[in-house]
A and B are shown apart, each in its own frame.
Chain A
Amino acid sequence: MTEIFFCNQSLKAEALHSSCAIDIDNLWDYRCSKPDILTPYTPYFFNQNPTAIDRSIADLLSTAPVAKPLTDLSLSFGGDNTLALAEITQKLQDYNLGLLDASAGVYGSRMTGFTGAVKKYQEALIAYGSSLKSNAAARLLARQKTQVAFQSLQLEFKHELNAVTAGVNARRGTPLTNLERATNIARSSRNLTALDITSQVQANNLVKFSKHTALLGNGLAVIDFTSRIGNIYNSHQAGGNWQRELFIESSSFALSALAGTAIVNTGGAMLGFLVLATPIGWVGLLAGGLTVAGVAAATSIGINQITKEDAGGVYDLIMNKLAHYDN
């Protein structure tokens, strides 16, 4: 396990030792040199003897657009919650494909809504933290704003919150589910935070997650495309066969969109007939609509998976055939 430290203001060795009981001699930056003073929004890892994995994880998290949102997030919600959030968005991303169809209404807005609500809550908490230095009226207003943001998050996104916090066992609840804890943390003006990263996969999820928080509001399709383009670009960077990757990504996208579209349209027509033939009520219609969206999403995910596995072989076949005609 790699323990990564972030701070949001410069910290000297003495301050580090007296406030957090951390010996600066055991901290390393991503270039694997010892810092004299901690610079804000920079990852440091804690280990007596640094390993290559420590270093590569710190390196992954070291660019400013990644490090800044990660520091802010884990300062307001705690390191374990940030890890859980990153994981859940990765999972939700797998449901992205239903997006193109009616399930766009269900999954897409839900996903952007959830991350949006978390973001709003975080902004309110940060504003509350900085309002502590101003007068009582401003403080009260900021506190009320955090309360509103907290309630809308709890009311609308119960399931997602459960999924996020299920892996975090803290008796008092987490800042995501307990406003008291969150405001206490904001009031305590902590400026150092730690992330316990167990694997490189987790670090990668974090990097992706921090990028999404910048993209939020543009909808999931953007995230989907960026991750697909990212795969192609990575292969290009690694000197791989990026045309093949492009073929795989675009054909799996097209096929899953196609399957989702077909199902939504058939489902819509079927509902139309169902209303004629049976005395089905509005509740039944809603349930039917959700079923259609669910089936469409499931199919989209399924076909995306299969196509990703098989499209490479198809590409090879076409290329072989073309080479054959050339000769």
Chain B
Amino acid sequence: MTTREYLIGMLIFAAFITAILYVAFGQITVRKLRKNPKTKDFLGLEYASGWDIINVAQALALPRALSRKLEKSPLAFMNANATVLFEHTNTLDRILGSVFYWLLMVSGLSGTLLVLLNALGFFTL
């Protein structure tokens, strides 16, 4: 069992949990927001179908100071609007969204880090 295999194993486990949370968050929170005429236009840009789930999670997970700044940006249409979403979600939605978003980011970006370290030769030592 090499170090890299161990790390990949952990990533696979994290990816599995993320996938479950993705579907759960989409069904529990985002489905409700898509139906609501007050929120359905504020779910951000869908690069691919279902991407609005990630946008909503990001809006609920990022610290308010950051998301307020993002809303002032000319590119605000790309992200979901946190101010609107906070008015129409409950605590469970926010916790679920934050856990999903940060797990996605941490596991996704550590995958990137792994590729980078691997390219730099860290695992051949």
Residues B1 and A313 in contact, CB atoms below 8 Å apart: yes
8 A Cβ contacts from A288-316 to B: 299, 302-303, 306-307, 310-311, 313-314
8 A Cβ contacts from A248-268 to B: 251, 254-256, 258-266, 268
Residues A273 and B4 in contact, CB atoms below 8 Å apart: no
Residues B112 and A313 in contact, CB atoms below 8 Å apart: no
CB proximity of B99 to chain A, nearest CB, Å:
15
CB proximity of B62 to chain A, nearest CB, Å:
8
Question: How many of chain A's residues touch chain B, expressed as a range?
Answer: 35 or more
Residues B8 and A314 in contact, CB atoms below 8 Å apart: yes
CB proximity of A319 to chain B, nearest CB, Å:
12
Collect the chain A residues with CB atoms within 8 Å of residue B2's CB: 310, 313
Collect the chain B residues with CB atoms within 8 Å of residue A269's CB: 58, 62, 70, 79
Residues B112 and A101 in contact, CB atoms below 8 Å apart: no
Q: Is A105 an interface residue (CB 8 A)?
A: yes
Q: Is B89 an interface residue (CB 8 A)?
A: no
Collect the chain A residues with CB atoms within 8 Å of residue B5's CB: 310, 313-314, 317
8 A Cβ contacts from B1-47 to A: 1-2, 4-5, 8-9, 11-12, 15-16, 18-19, 45, 47
Residues B1 and A299 in contact, CB atoms below 8 Å apart: no
Q: Is A272 an interface residue (CB 8 A)?
A: yes
Residues B8 and A307 in contact, CB atoms below 8 Å apart: yes
Most B CB atoms within 10 A — which of A104, A275, A306?
A306
Q: Is A7 an interface residue (CB 8 A)?
A: no
Partner-B contacts on A (CB < 8 A): 100-102, 104-105, 251, 254-256, 258-266, 268-269, 271-273, 275-276, 285, 299, 302-303, 306-307, 310-311, 313-314, 317
In the complex, 5 of the A-B residue pairs with CB atoms within 8 angstroms, ordered by the A residue number, are A105-B47, A269-B70, A306-B114, A310-B2, A310-B5
